[in-house]
Amino acid sequence: MPLQYNVSTLLTEPIGSTREYDVDSGVLIDEEEPRHEHVSGHARFLRTRDGMLVTARLSGVQRDRCSRCLSDVDVAVSVELDEEFFASVDVHSGARLPPPDDLEAFRIDPQQTLDLEEVVRQSWMTALPMQPLCRPECAGLCPRCGKDLNEGACACQPEGDERWSALRGLQVQLEGK
pLDDT, tens digit (0-9, with 9 covering 90-100), for 110-135: 999 999 999 999 999 999 999 999 99
Q: How far is CA 171 from CA 63, 161, 163, 177, in A?
A: 47, 15, 14, 10
Q: Give per-residue pLDDT as tens, 131-175.
A: 999 999 999 999 889 999 999 999 887 667 778 888 888 888 888
CA 146 to chain centre: 30
